Amino acid sequence: MCAAINTQGSTEHHRVVIVGGGAAGVTVAAILRRHRHDLDIALLEPSDSHYYQPAFTLVGGGTYDMAKTRRAEAGLIPPGVRWIKDAAAEFDPEKNAIGLKSGRRLTYDMLVVCPGIQIDIGKIEGLEGTLGRSRVTSNYLPDYAPYTWQCLQEVKGGETVLFTMPPMPIKCPGAPQKIAYLASDYLRRKGLRHSVTIEYLTATPTMFAVPYFAGPLLEVAKGHGIAVHFNTNLKAIDAQKKIATFEAKEADGSTKRVEKTFDMIHVSPPQSAPEVVKKSSLANDAGWVDIDQNSMRHKRFANVFALGDAGSTPNSKTAAAVRKQAPIVVRNLLAALDQREGGLSYDGYGSCPLTTAYGKVMLAEFTYGGKVTPSFPLDPKVERTSMWYLKKYFLPYLYWEHMLKGKEFDIAHKERYGQKAAA
């Protein structure tokens, strides 16, 4: 187990500094230690708890124990990696330095930036202070995923339940609709489905960014009797009056205000790069760490790499993407340390196990450009019970026992179905 460092007002140097101790940071640290057991590595992470976030939808659907998603951060950081229990307050890549919130300063030879994504609750008027009560919930934060399940159990006949999706990019872009499908299936099993109105309101123009899955997912929603509204973005919530206000885009490009009453609402909040990244010279114009989409190396600072949700790569922000990115970052970083060419390239792989009902999952796998690249020789737009077991049982095991321990087990993905929309 790794001991945290709490001294303040000092400066220390490390060969490699990793900012962020989530899926990306721990995985990179573990792989680095497997390749160079004597490499001086420091990991910067303020949290005591580490969560397996892909299971939050299952928690919200009442089919996964929240306690199983959490482990102590100290038990996950690889032996020999120095854990600095602090947060970055300022990046100064011109001087190979990071200012910490405690007032300390770190310098480095190589930097890996993976602080995750920022959940912008404050961008929805009325959400802050309301979330977690008045049947306003979100699976995007660990404090509220169990409350989603509580809210679902309280739904009665004649009520209206809303599910929202913000503008992209967000982490796990399938999650907002997955919980809607589980809610519908749960209410069907209770005999309430036909007396409860369920609506899915998304700021995006389609059900999914990869065309091959967009059509089939719309059919899933229709099968559940869920009313879908595209180009409709949540702007405000009045929990007392039970009114959600949306901005809907018309076909001519104009917008109109739409108000919806609700008895329960599941909100997927807007998201962005962390503020500390946005205000730094590491960021591109959109605020993300400005890296090459293949090498994962910064476009201006040769000793900086990034991966995970804070990176500018145009892939789906998922744990599956991190699993593919981490070995590439490690090998290219080590090559940079050795002053040789790295050459490994990330193809944009992401995976989204789309839970469409209890016991059913559509496993979407894809790379840059919307190429459909399944790991199994099965049509991925088909809902399968086998993929439910993969999501609920195998993937958490793979995460905790292989990925976070730096084991590079993999199943090769292969383009099989092209990019056009399925019937």
The active-site residue out of 2, 114, 151, 172 is: 172
Residue 334 token pair: 């080590």
User: Are 42 and 17 in contact, with CB atoms under 8 Å apart?
Assistant: yes
Q: How far is CA 63 from CA 31, 56, 67, 149, in A?
A: 32, 10, 12, 9
Instruction: Classify residue 402 by its DSSP letter.
Output: T
**Strand residue runs (E) in 315-370:** 350-357, 360-367
Residue 132 token pair: 């977690």
Provide DSSP, 217-274: HHHHHHHTT-EEESSEEEEEEETTTTEEEEEEE-TTS-EEEEEEE-SEEE----EE--
Residue 262 token pair: 């609700």
Q: How far is CA 422 from CA 177, 278, 351, 356, 370, in A?
A: 19, 38, 18, 17, 13
Burial grade of 94 (CB within 10 A; 0-12, 13-18, 19 or more): exposed
The active-site residue out of 2, 114, 151, 352 is: 352
Assess whether 2 carries a catalytic annotation. Answer: no
Residue 276 token pair: 């500390």
Q: Which long-range CB contacts under 8 A does 50-55 form with residues at least 24 apart?
A: 50/21, 50/22, 50/26, 50/76, 51/142, 52/396, 52/399, 52/400, 53/23, 53/142, 53/171, 53/172, 53/319, 54/172, 54/318, 54/319, 54/353, 54/391, 54/395, 54/396, 54/399, 55/396
* Sequence letter at residue 159: E
Assess whether 172 carries a catalytic annotation. Answer: yes
**Strand residue runs (E) in 371-415:** 371-372
Question: Does residue 361 sit in helix, strand or coil?
Answer: strand
First to last CA, the chain: 52
Q: Is the Cα torsion angle 102, 103, 109, 112 positive or negative in sign? A: positive
What residues are labeled active site? 172, 352
